[in-house]
Amino acid sequence: MIEIKVPVLPESISEATVVLWHKKPGDSIEMDEVLVEIETDKVVLEVPAEESGVLTEIIANEGETVTEKQLLGTLEDKPEESASRAPNKEQPVAPAKTISEQPKAQQAPKKVPQIGNRTEERVPMSRLRKTIANRLHSATQNTAMLTTFNEVDMSSIIAMRNSYKEVFESKYGVKLGFMSFFVMAAVEALKKFPAVNAYIDGDDIIYHAYCDVSVAVSSDRGLVVPVLRDAHKMAMHDIENGIIDFANRAQSGDLTVEEMSGGTFTISNGGVFGSLLSTPILNSPQSAILGMHKTQQRAVVVDGEIVIRPMMYLALSYDHRIVDGKEAVQFLIAIKDALEDPTRLLLKI
Protein backbone atom coordinates (compact mmCIF):
# COMPACT_ATOMS: atom_id res chain seq x y z
CA MET A 1 0.00 0.00 0.00
CA ILE A 2 1.42 3.40 -1.05
CA GLU A 3 0.40 6.50 0.88
CA ILE A 4 -0.53 9.70 -0.99
CA LYS A 5 0.40 12.67 1.19
CA VAL A 6 0.25 16.46 1.06
CA PRO A 7 3.63 17.68 -0.26
CA VAL A 8 5.87 20.14 1.55
CA LEU A 9 4.01 23.46 1.55
CA PRO A 10 5.66 26.79 0.70
CA GLU A 11 7.21 28.77 3.54
CA SER A 12 4.73 30.60 5.82
CA ILE A 13 1.80 28.46 4.59
CA SER A 14 0.46 25.95 7.10
CA GLU A 15 -2.59 24.49 5.37
CA ALA A 16 -4.26 23.95 2.03
CA THR A 17 -7.59 22.90 0.54
CA VAL A 18 -8.24 19.81 -1.58
CA VAL A 19 -9.56 21.26 -4.85
CA LEU A 20 -9.92 18.41 -7.33
CA TRP A 21 -9.32 14.67 -7.50
CA HIS A 22 -8.44 13.68 -11.06
CA LYS A 23 -8.93 10.00 -10.29
CA LYS A 24 -11.47 7.88 -8.43
CA PRO A 25 -11.00 4.66 -6.46
CA GLY A 26 -10.48 1.75 -8.80
CA ASP A 27 -8.70 3.80 -11.46
CA SER A 28 -5.38 2.57 -12.79
CA ILE A 29 -2.59 5.09 -12.16
CA GLU A 30 0.72 5.55 -13.96
CA MET A 31 3.83 6.93 -12.26
CA ASP A 32 3.99 10.77 -12.27
CA GLU A 33 0.34 11.03 -13.27
CA VAL A 34 -1.43 13.88 -11.43
CA LEU A 35 -3.80 12.47 -8.81
CA VAL A 36 -5.11 15.51 -6.98
CA GLU A 37 -4.80 19.29 -6.87
CA ILE A 38 -4.55 21.20 -3.59
CA GLU A 39 -4.80 24.97 -3.24
CA THR A 40 -2.90 27.19 -0.83
CA ASP A 41 -3.44 30.89 -0.23
CA LYS A 42 -1.46 31.72 -3.35
CA VAL A 43 -0.80 28.70 -5.56
CA VAL A 44 -2.30 25.40 -6.67
CA LEU A 45 -0.08 22.35 -6.17
CA GLU A 46 -0.39 19.15 -8.18
CA VAL A 47 0.24 15.88 -6.35
CA PRO A 48 1.56 13.18 -8.72
CA ALA A 49 1.72 9.43 -8.21
CA GLU A 50 5.13 8.30 -7.00
CA GLU A 51 4.53 4.81 -8.38
CA SER A 52 2.14 3.03 -10.72
CA GLY A 53 -0.81 1.26 -9.17
CA VAL A 54 -4.52 1.44 -8.45
CA LEU A 55 -6.16 4.18 -6.38
CA THR A 56 -7.79 2.33 -3.51
CA GLU A 57 -9.13 5.04 -1.24
CA ILE A 58 -9.67 8.80 -1.07
CA ILE A 59 -9.27 9.95 2.52
CA ALA A 60 -9.27 13.76 2.13
CA ASN A 61 -12.26 14.76 0.02
CA GLU A 62 -12.61 17.82 -2.19
CA GLY A 63 -13.17 20.92 -0.12
CA GLU A 64 -11.42 19.60 2.99
CA THR A 65 -8.61 21.50 4.70
CA VAL A 66 -5.34 19.59 4.98
CA THR A 67 -1.88 20.20 6.41
CA GLU A 68 1.64 19.32 5.32
CA LYS A 69 2.31 15.57 5.07
CA GLN A 70 -1.33 14.72 5.84
CA LEU A 71 -2.65 11.53 4.24
CA LEU A 72 -4.79 12.24 1.17
CA GLY A 73 -5.42 8.70 -0.03
CA THR A 74 -3.87 5.35 -0.75
CA LEU A 75 -2.51 3.65 -3.84
CA GLU A 76 -2.10 -0.11 -4.17
CA ASP A 77 0.83 -1.50 -6.10
CA LYS A 78 -0.10 -4.07 -8.73
CA PRO A 79 1.67 -6.81 -10.60
CA GLU A 80 3.40 -5.71 -13.78
CA GLU A 81 1.27 -7.98 -15.96
CA SER A 82 -1.97 -6.45 -14.69
CA ALA A 83 -0.68 -2.90 -14.72
CA SER A 84 -1.00 -2.75 -18.50
CA ARG A 85 -4.66 -3.75 -18.35
CA ALA A 86 -7.44 -1.33 -17.52
CA PRO A 87 -9.40 -2.40 -14.43
CA ASN A 88 -12.69 -4.20 -14.98
CA LYS A 89 -15.44 -1.58 -14.67
CA GLU A 90 -17.94 -4.17 -13.41
CA GLN A 91 -15.54 -5.36 -10.70
CA PRO A 92 -13.53 -2.36 -9.48
CA VAL A 93 -10.24 -3.07 -7.77
CA ALA A 94 -11.32 -1.10 -4.71
CA PRO A 95 -15.03 -1.34 -3.86
CA ALA A 96 -15.20 2.27 -2.69
CA LYS A 97 -17.92 3.63 -4.93
CA THR A 98 -19.51 5.65 -2.14
CA ILE A 99 -16.19 7.34 -1.42
CA SER A 100 -15.73 8.44 -5.04
CA GLU A 101 -19.21 9.91 -5.15
CA GLN A 102 -18.90 11.75 -1.85
CA PRO A 103 -16.52 14.53 -2.94
CA LYS A 104 -18.78 15.51 -5.82
CA ALA A 105 -21.74 15.67 -3.46
CA GLN A 106 -19.82 17.94 -1.09
CA GLN A 107 -18.58 20.33 -3.78
CA ALA A 108 -21.77 20.54 -5.83
CA PRO A 109 -23.52 23.93 -5.58
CA LYS A 110 -26.38 23.78 -3.11
CA LYS A 111 -29.56 24.79 -4.92
CA VAL A 112 -32.32 26.20 -2.77
CA PRO A 113 -35.77 26.20 -4.42
CA GLN A 114 -37.47 29.59 -4.49
CA ILE A 115 -40.76 30.93 -5.85
CA GLY A 116 -41.53 29.49 -9.27
CA ASN A 117 -38.36 28.56 -11.20
CA ARG A 118 -36.06 30.87 -9.21
CA THR A 119 -33.10 29.17 -7.54
CA GLU A 120 -30.02 30.17 -5.58
CA GLU A 121 -26.61 28.54 -5.49
CA ARG A 122 -24.29 28.50 -2.51
CA VAL A 123 -20.69 27.74 -3.56
CA PRO A 124 -17.78 27.84 -1.09
CA MET A 125 -15.13 30.43 -1.88
CA SER A 126 -11.78 29.00 -2.94
CA ARG A 127 -8.85 29.57 -0.64
CA LEU A 128 -7.25 31.89 -3.20
CA ARG A 129 -10.45 33.91 -3.57
CA LYS A 130 -10.75 34.25 0.23
CA THR A 131 -7.15 35.46 0.43
CA ILE A 132 -7.74 38.03 -2.30
CA ALA A 133 -10.92 39.24 -0.56
CA ASN A 134 -9.18 39.57 2.81
CA ARG A 135 -6.21 41.46 1.34
CA LEU A 136 -8.41 43.91 -0.56
CA HIS A 137 -10.59 44.52 2.47
CA SER A 138 -7.51 45.05 4.62
CA ALA A 139 -6.10 47.58 2.15
CA THR A 140 -9.25 49.68 2.23
CA GLN A 141 -9.51 49.53 6.03
CA ASN A 142 -5.87 50.06 7.02
CA THR A 143 -4.67 52.74 4.59
CA ALA A 144 -5.62 56.32 3.80
CA MET A 145 -6.23 55.46 0.15
CA LEU A 146 -6.85 58.22 -2.37
CA THR A 147 -6.90 58.17 -6.19
CA THR A 148 -5.73 60.82 -8.64
CA PHE A 149 -6.37 60.72 -12.39
CA ASN A 150 -4.81 61.93 -15.61
CA GLU A 151 -4.88 60.97 -19.27
CA VAL A 152 -2.20 60.14 -21.78
CA ASP A 153 -2.10 60.56 -25.54
CA MET A 154 -0.98 57.17 -26.86
CA SER A 155 -0.17 58.43 -30.38
CA SER A 156 3.63 58.38 -29.98
CA ILE A 157 3.76 54.92 -28.42
CA ILE A 158 1.42 53.47 -31.05
CA ALA A 159 3.52 55.01 -33.84
CA MET A 160 6.77 53.71 -32.34
CA ARG A 161 5.31 50.27 -31.84
CA ASN A 162 4.01 50.11 -35.42
CA SER A 163 7.40 51.20 -36.77
CA TYR A 164 9.54 48.73 -34.82
CA LYS A 165 7.29 45.81 -33.84
CA GLU A 166 8.50 43.54 -36.67
CA VAL A 167 12.22 44.15 -36.20
CA PHE A 168 11.76 43.95 -32.43
CA GLU A 169 10.07 40.55 -32.65
CA SER A 170 12.62 39.34 -35.19
CA LYS A 171 15.52 40.23 -32.91
CA TYR A 172 14.15 39.26 -29.51
CA GLY A 173 11.54 36.62 -30.34
CA VAL A 174 8.77 38.43 -28.46
CA LYS A 175 6.12 40.92 -29.52
CA LEU A 176 6.47 44.56 -28.53
CA GLY A 177 3.50 45.39 -26.33
CA PHE A 178 2.43 48.49 -24.45
CA MET A 179 3.11 47.14 -20.95
CA SER A 180 6.89 47.45 -21.29
CA PHE A 181 6.51 51.18 -21.99
CA PHE A 182 4.42 51.59 -18.85
CA VAL A 183 6.82 49.59 -16.68
CA MET A 184 9.79 51.63 -17.86
CA ALA A 185 7.88 54.91 -17.41
CA ALA A 186 6.87 53.86 -13.90
CA VAL A 187 10.44 52.91 -12.99
CA GLU A 188 11.77 56.32 -14.06
CA ALA A 189 9.01 58.06 -12.09
CA LEU A 190 9.72 55.91 -9.01
CA LYS A 191 13.34 57.04 -9.09
CA LYS A 192 12.18 60.67 -8.94
CA PHE A 193 9.59 60.08 -6.21
CA PRO A 194 10.98 57.49 -3.76
CA ALA A 195 8.02 57.79 -1.36
CA VAL A 196 5.81 56.17 -3.99
CA ASN A 197 8.24 53.22 -3.98
CA ALA A 198 8.24 52.93 -0.17
CA TYR A 199 5.89 51.55 2.48
CA ILE A 200 5.01 52.06 6.14
CA ASP A 201 6.16 49.54 8.75
CA GLY A 202 4.86 50.53 12.16
CA ASP A 203 6.25 53.99 12.85
CA ASP A 204 8.92 53.70 10.17
CA ILE A 205 9.02 54.28 6.42
CA ILE A 206 10.94 51.69 4.43
CA TYR A 207 12.54 53.12 1.27
CA HIS A 208 13.69 50.79 -1.51
CA ALA A 209 16.82 51.39 -3.56
CA TYR A 210 15.39 49.12 -6.24
CA CYS A 211 12.15 48.76 -8.22
CA ASP A 212 10.33 45.43 -8.05
CA VAL A 213 7.20 45.96 -10.13
CA SER A 214 4.19 43.75 -9.45
CA VAL A 215 2.06 43.15 -12.55
CA ALA A 216 -1.57 42.20 -11.99
CA VAL A 217 -2.43 39.11 -14.05
CA SER A 218 -5.89 37.57 -14.35
CA SER A 219 -6.32 33.80 -14.12
CA ASP A 220 -9.25 31.41 -13.90
CA ARG A 221 -8.62 31.13 -10.15
CA GLY A 222 -8.43 34.88 -9.50
CA LEU A 223 -6.13 37.88 -9.75
CA VAL A 224 -2.44 37.28 -9.01
CA VAL A 225 0.44 39.77 -8.91
CA PRO A 226 3.78 38.21 -9.89
CA VAL A 227 6.80 40.48 -9.53
CA LEU A 228 9.31 41.70 -12.11
CA ARG A 229 12.43 41.72 -9.92
CA ASP A 230 14.90 44.56 -10.51
CA ALA A 231 12.68 46.10 -13.17
CA HIS A 232 14.98 49.13 -13.15
CA LYS A 233 17.65 46.93 -14.75
CA MET A 234 15.42 45.30 -17.36
CA ALA A 235 15.31 46.06 -21.08
CA MET A 236 11.98 46.20 -22.89
CA HIS A 237 12.29 42.70 -24.31
CA ASP A 238 13.07 41.34 -20.83
CA ILE A 239 9.90 42.97 -19.51
CA GLU A 240 7.77 41.61 -22.36
CA ASN A 241 9.18 38.09 -21.92
CA GLY A 242 8.61 38.24 -18.17
CA ILE A 243 4.98 39.35 -18.50
CA ILE A 244 4.16 36.71 -21.13
CA ASP A 245 5.72 34.03 -18.95
CA PHE A 246 3.71 35.20 -15.93
CA ALA A 247 0.46 35.25 -17.92
CA ASN A 248 0.97 31.72 -19.26
CA ARG A 249 1.91 30.25 -15.90
CA ALA A 250 -0.91 32.08 -14.11
CA GLN A 251 -3.38 30.18 -16.30
CA SER A 252 -1.67 26.85 -15.67
CA GLY A 253 -1.28 27.53 -11.94
CA ASP A 254 2.51 27.20 -12.05
CA LEU A 255 3.44 30.51 -10.38
CA THR A 256 5.30 30.08 -7.11
CA VAL A 257 4.70 31.90 -3.85
CA GLU A 258 8.13 33.52 -4.12
CA GLU A 259 7.28 34.95 -7.54
CA MET A 260 4.19 36.64 -6.11
CA SER A 261 5.78 37.90 -2.89
CA GLY A 262 7.30 41.31 -2.35
CA GLY A 263 7.05 44.02 -4.95
CA THR A 264 7.44 47.74 -4.35
CA PHE A 265 4.86 49.09 -6.84
CA THR A 266 1.99 47.57 -8.84
CA ILE A 267 0.59 48.11 -12.34
CA SER A 268 -2.89 46.84 -13.19
CA ASN A 269 -4.32 46.91 -16.71
CA GLY A 270 -8.11 46.89 -16.59
CA GLY A 271 -8.12 48.10 -20.18
CA VAL A 272 -7.71 44.58 -21.50
CA PHE A 273 -11.25 43.92 -20.27
CA GLY A 274 -12.60 47.19 -21.68
CA SER A 275 -12.49 49.30 -18.51
CA LEU A 276 -12.46 53.02 -19.34
CA LEU A 277 -11.84 54.28 -15.80
CA SER A 278 -11.44 52.73 -12.35
CA THR A 279 -9.93 53.26 -8.90
CA PRO A 280 -7.48 50.38 -8.29
CA ILE A 281 -7.04 49.12 -4.72
CA LEU A 282 -3.59 49.14 -3.12
CA ASN A 283 -1.54 45.96 -3.05
CA SER A 284 -0.51 46.11 0.61
CA PRO A 285 1.97 46.97 2.02
CA GLN A 286 2.85 48.97 -1.11
CA SER A 287 1.99 52.64 -1.08
CA ALA A 288 0.76 53.04 -4.68
CA ILE A 289 -0.73 51.26 -7.69
CA LEU A 290 -1.06 52.47 -11.29
CA GLY A 291 -4.24 51.63 -13.17
CA MET A 292 -4.16 51.43 -16.97
CA HIS A 293 -7.36 51.54 -19.00
CA LYS A 294 -8.78 51.14 -22.48
CA THR A 295 -7.29 53.27 -25.25
CA GLN A 296 -10.13 55.06 -26.99
CA GLN A 297 -10.34 57.62 -29.79
CA ARG A 298 -11.51 60.90 -28.27
CA ALA A 299 -11.77 64.54 -29.27
CA VAL A 300 -9.08 66.59 -27.50
CA VAL A 301 -7.75 70.12 -27.88
CA VAL A 302 -4.15 70.38 -29.17
CA ASP A 303 -2.64 73.81 -29.89
CA GLY A 304 -6.08 75.38 -29.88
CA GLU A 305 -7.60 72.89 -32.31
CA ILE A 306 -9.94 69.96 -31.76
CA VAL A 307 -8.32 66.72 -32.96
CA ILE A 308 -9.02 63.01 -32.60
CA ARG A 309 -6.38 61.14 -30.59
CA PRO A 310 -6.05 57.67 -29.01
CA MET A 311 -6.39 58.52 -25.31
CA MET A 312 -6.05 56.47 -22.14
CA TYR A 313 -7.11 57.44 -18.65
CA LEU A 314 -4.54 56.72 -15.95
CA ALA A 315 -5.38 56.27 -12.26
CA LEU A 316 -2.93 56.31 -9.37
CA SER A 317 -4.24 55.08 -6.04
CA TYR A 318 -1.87 55.88 -3.19
CA ASP A 319 -1.58 55.78 0.59
CA HIS A 320 -1.97 59.40 1.68
CA ARG A 321 -0.19 58.64 4.96
CA ILE A 322 3.13 58.40 3.13
CA VAL A 323 2.54 60.03 -0.27
CA ASP A 324 1.41 63.66 -0.39
CA GLY A 325 -1.12 64.75 -2.98
CA LYS A 326 1.46 66.93 -4.72
CA GLU A 327 3.86 63.98 -5.05
CA ALA A 328 1.12 61.72 -6.38
CA VAL A 329 0.06 64.22 -9.04
CA GLN A 330 3.65 64.91 -10.09
CA PHE A 331 4.41 61.20 -10.20
CA LEU A 332 1.48 60.57 -12.54
CA ILE A 333 2.47 63.54 -14.72
CA ALA A 334 6.01 62.12 -14.96
CA ILE A 335 4.54 58.86 -16.30
CA LYS A 336 2.31 60.77 -18.71
CA ASP A 337 5.24 62.84 -20.03
CA ALA A 338 7.40 59.75 -20.55
CA LEU A 339 4.64 57.93 -22.43
CA GLU A 340 3.74 60.87 -24.65
CA ASP A 341 7.43 61.38 -25.52
CA PRO A 342 9.04 57.88 -25.39
CA THR A 343 12.43 59.41 -26.21
CA ARG A 344 12.54 60.41 -22.54
CA LEU A 345 12.69 56.72 -21.61
CA LEU A 346 15.79 56.21 -23.75
CA LEU A 347 17.50 59.36 -22.48
CA LYS A 348 16.42 58.72 -18.86
CA ILE A 349 15.05 62.24 -18.47
Residues marked as catalytic: 320, 324
3 state DSSP class of 19: strand
Q: What is the DSSP code string of 116-159?
A: TT-EEEE-PPPHHHHHHHHHHHHHHHHS-EEEEEEEEE-HHHHH
Backbone angles phi, psi at 69, to 5 degrees: 70, 5
Specify whether the CB–CB gap between 265 and 322 falls below 8 A.
no
What is the DSSP annotation of 198-244? Answer: -EEETTEEE--SS--EEE-EEETTEEE--EETTGGG--HHHHHHHHH
**Do 215 and 225 contact (CB within 8 A), yes or no?**
yes
Peptide bond into 285 cis (omega under 30): yes
Q: How far apart are CA 271 and CA 138, in angstroms?
A: 25
Q: How far is CA 308 from CA 206, 301, 302, 337, in A?
A: 44, 9, 9, 19
Residues with Cβ < 8 Å from 255, sequence gap 6 or more? 42, 43, 224, 226, 246, 249
Backbone angles phi and psi of 18, in degrees to 5: -70, 120
HSE (CB half, 13 Å, CA atoms) of 279?
A: 9
What number of H helices and E strands is found in the chain? 8, 21
